[in-house]
Structure 1
Amino acid sequence: MLALALLSSGAFAQGAEPLSLNLMMSLVKSVTLNGKVTEQTVANPASVFPGDVISQVITVKNNTGRAIQNVPVKLPVPRSTVYLAAEQGLNAARTEYSIDGGKTFAAAPLMKAVTVTENGKAVTRMVEVKPSEYNAVRWIVNELPAGQSLKLGYRVQVK
């Protein structure tokens, strides 16, 4: 609620937004250098192809003069991609996932009800949702100090 109040408040210096968000998309390529496979990234690629891996990293900056708490940051998984995994080294916030377009979120592993036929009868079972079914990600930033920024992200693969 505090984050919502902060985001809707007009009491910030020079009319600045309390949070700024900057999304960077990079193509992730595996290359061999001196006999060793390593990753290289190409920021904002002009084109991508099926099978390409994209890193989506969002930088969240607190533009206020005080720490803000429990800040939700949502990012949809692009429709033409499949969620792969969280971006390594960027796990400074609680991460939740959605399979219903961002209406509801929960921590992994997500579960869903499926109906199967066993011995001629319909039976509902709870099964674990595969990460490839995630279509939105939400991070809850516990605290972001004044003037500080934080990077959050994940990788997807182009369908």
Structure 2
Amino acid sequence: MKRLKFILMISAAGVAAAQTATPVSLNLVMSLVNTVKVNGKDTEQLTPSPKNVLPGSVISQVVTVRNTSGKTVRQLPVTLPVPKNTQYLATEKGLDTLQAQYSIDGGKTFAAAPLKKKVTVTENGRSVVKEVDVKPSEYTTVRWIIPELGANDTLKLGYRIQVK
């Protein structure tokens, strides 16, 4: 199986920072997710910043948001693109305290899941427009709005992707 160079967008943190006008720091950690047996039980093992990954590999993307100011920050948007050659899987377990919003148009518009889109299909020889659910694998960008982050507080947000 072909090995892929793992150069997923560390700049995602830069994208998130560019979209926030407040004094925050962002630290993005991407980890390869492996399932290993420990005492006969399947356990997840995370390998931070892997050099190479294979198609089908699952990656955990976790961004730590730190308020570096001495004041509480409110309504703080944090946006991460789903890297090219990957597809969104799900919110990272344990980091789902805030509702994520998703985009299928590269971050132009966002909505909570389930997203809907209109498609034109042919039924009985006629074109018909139908509204259908968007599959999570079609998400291009994820955004959270942090309602409040106290002075010097941190918050972790994240999701999992799969390499195509």
Q: Tell me whether the two structures share a fold, i.e. TM-score over 0.5.
A: yes
Which residue pairs with 2:154 in the alignment? 149
Give the letter aligned to residue 96 of structure 2. N
Question: What secondary structure sits across from 1:132 in the alignment?
Answer: helix
2:58 to 53, 56, 79: 53
Normalised by the length of structure 2, the TM-score is 0.86
Q: Are residue 26 (structure 1) and residue 40 (structure 2) matched?
A: no
Gaps of 5+ in 2: 1-17
Tell me the equivalent position of 1:43: 48
CA distance in 2 between counterparts of 1:120 and 1:93 reads 45
Deviation at 1:92, TM superposition (A): 2.8
Mapping 1:7-156, distance limit 5 Å: 7=21, 18-156=23-161
Q: CA RMSD in A?
A: 1.3
Q: Tell me the TM-score normalised to structure 1 length.
A: 0.89
Aligned with 1:107: secondary structure?
Answer: coil
CA contact (8 A) 1:94 1:141 kept: no
Give the fraction of aligned pairs with identical amino acids, expressed as a percent: 60
The 2-side partners of 1:126 and 1:146 are apart by 44
User: Could you tell me how far apart the structure 2 residues matched to 1:111 and 1:7 are?
Assistant: 30
Equivalenced residue count is 146
> Is there any run of 5+ residues in structure 1 with no aligned partner, and where?
9-17
Secondary structure at 1:94's aligned position in 2? coil
CA radius of gyration, larger in: 1
Residues 92 and 141 in structure 1, CA contact (< 8 A), matched pair in contact too: no
- Using the TM superposition, name which of 145-154 and 84-93 deviates more: 84-93
Provide the secondary structure at the position in 2 that maps to 1:7.
coil
CA distance in 2, matches of 1:139, 1:44: 23
